[in-house]
C-alpha cells in the first residue's frame, strides 16, 4: 500500500500504510450530563482492526 502513488495532502498511516482514519476524542469529561473538552486525534482504521492503536 505504501508504494502506491497518493496525493501530497492525503493522510497515510506510518505503520501499515492505510489511508482510512477515524477521528476520536481523548480525555472527554462529563459536565451536567454532556461531554465537554478533550483532544481530537486521528486513528488508523486498519491498525485499529488489528487491535493496535496508532495515532496519526
DSSP 28-56: -EEETTEEE--EEEEEEHHHHHTT---B-
Structure confidence by residue, pLDDT tens digits, 13-54? 999 988 899 999 989 999 999 999 999 999 999 999 999 999
pLDDT for 9 beyond 90 = no
Q: Rounded to 5 degrees, what are φ and ψ at 22?
A: -120, 135
Band of the pLDDT at 2, cuts 50, 70, 90? low
Other CB atoms within 10 A of residue 13 CB: 21
- Tell if the pTM clears 0.85, that is, is over it: no
Beta strand 21-26 with 39-44 is antiparallel
pLDDT of residue 1: 63
Domain spans, the chain: 1-56
Amino acid at each position: 500500500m505504501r508504494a502506491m502513488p497518493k496525493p501530497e495532502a492525503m493522510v497515510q498511516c506510518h505503520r501499515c500504510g492505510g489511508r482510512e482514519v477515524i477521528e476520536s476524542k481523548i480525555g472527554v469529561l462529563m459536565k451536567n450530563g454532556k461531554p465537554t473538552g478533550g483532544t481530537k486525534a486521528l486513528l488508523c482504521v486498519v491498525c485499529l482492526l488489528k487491535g493496535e492503536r496508532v495515532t496519526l
